[in-house]
Amino acid sequence: MKDHVTVGVDGSAASRAAARWAAQEAALRQVPLRLVHAVDWPLDPVLPGLGHQDADRRAADRVLTGTARELRRLHPQLDVTAWCPAARPAAALAAEAADAGLLVLGSRGPGGLLGSVVGSVALSTVVATVTPVVLVRAATTATATAGRETPDALPSGEIVVGVDVHEGCDRVLAFAFEEAARRDCPLRVVHGWKTPAAHAYVPFFDPDEERDIGRSAARTMDDLLAPWRRGFPEVNVTPTVFRGPAGERLVRAGRGAALVVVGRHLSRSPLGGHLGPVAHAVLHHCAAPVAVIAHDP
């Protein structure tokens, strides 16, 4: 039964933030929390492990024990377990995610080079599982003063979700509405529309036509949200429709958000999964925790 939250930990600042966020989420959902620290031990028939296996195991045990102790102190009622599989981290985390309702990973803070913000393990894990994955920055759950934790506090602000009104996005909206209902916070649904391709061959874009396209997108958004509003009447929903790149708007909205939710298409390619441009931009540049939800196009 997929009722627990799993979090990957490795002792880094980002993974500590992810563990705290995951504990808060598990407590909110009233489900167990599972800590996973995968160790990729080298396998060599001549020099097995190069003598590092015992040291690596002890280091992993210290990380898991210390993290579990801290989380149990902050959330005494939370059921916390730990596991250290001997496998490549991305593969181990994806396998653990298969039995979880949610996987939480740490993500490095914003950097200067594109592609260097989110680690390779996190990216590989995101595209290798259909389980919802949340990536948490190191600063997301940091407290202003050491030793003054607020274990029941969740990041303030609204939940922001990006959708394409012309594609199926039920799994994305279901996750966003359920999270907003759990947290009793507002939900902003964002859709960015593009100029029709044919307009690339005309000298100017008629402002009246632009308004018509915008109004049509807004109506489509209202139709899309209607059943979700009825299913979650307690959630305060604000639709936002605009002309322009959705990734940029989601990153800006995420500056004050509690959570940003994006989708990624399930890939049928033998080359494996991938991230679309919107999810890629948000993961690399958004300061808020980011949930990535796999869904059919």
- Kind and range of the H or E run holding 67: helix 53-74
Interval 119-161: pLDDT, tens: 788 888 998 899 999 999 886 544 333 334 455 455 568 999 9
Mean pLDDT of the chain: 82
**Which class does domain 1-154 fall in?**
alpha beta
- DSSP code, position 138: T
- Give 26-75 pLDDT, tens digit per residue: 999 999 999 999 887 655 545 555 556 667 778 888 999 999 999 999 99
Q: What percent of the chain lies above the pLDDT cut of 90?
A: 45
Pick the range with the lowest mean pLDDT from 85-94, 147-156, 215-224, 265-274: 147-156
Q: Which of 287, 282, 265 is nearest to 172 (CA)?
A: 265
Question: Between residues 240 and 56, which one has the greater pLDDT?
Answer: 240
Q: Look at 73-77, 90-94, 149-153, 216-220 and tell me which has the smallest mean pLDDT.
A: 149-153
- Asked if 97 contacts 5 with a C-beta cutoff of 8 angstroms, the reply is no
Radius of gyration of the chain (CA): 21
Half-sphere exposure of 269 (CA within 13 A, CB side): 10
Going by pLDDT thresholds of 50, 70 and 90, the confidence category of residue 279 is confident
- As a CATH number, domain 155-297 is 3.40.50.12370
Rounded percentage of the chain residues whose pLDDT exceeds 70: 76
Give residue 138's pLDDT: 81
Range 241-262 average pLDDT: 88
Best mean pLDDT range from 71-80, 90-99, 140-149, 266-275:
71-80
Q: Which residues contact 40 (CB under 8 A, 6 or more apart)?
A: 86, 87, 88, 89
CA neighbours closer than 13 Å in the CB half-sphere of residue 35: 30
Rounded Cα gap, residues 182 and 120, in angstroms? 31
Angle formed by the axes of helices 13-29 and 53-74, nearest 10°: 50
**pLDDT band for position 115 (cuts 50, 70, 90):** very low
Please report how many Cα atoms fall inside a 13 Å half-sphere around the Cα of residue 98, on the Cβ side.
7
CATH topology of 1-154 equal to that of 155-297?
Answer: yes
Question: Cα–Cα distance between 140 and 11 in angstroms, integer?
Answer: 16
Q: Where are the domains of the chain?
A: 1-154, 155-297
Count other C-beta atoms under 10 Å from residue 203's C-beta: 5
**What residues contact 202, with CB distance under 8 A and at least 6 apart?**
none
In this prediction, residue 178 carries a pLDDT of: 97
Residue 178: which H helix or E strand, with range? helix 170-183
Tell which wins on pLDDT, 191 or 213: 191
Which residues, in sequence order, are CB contacts of 186 under 8 Å at separation 6+? 158, 159, 180, 235, 236, 237, 238
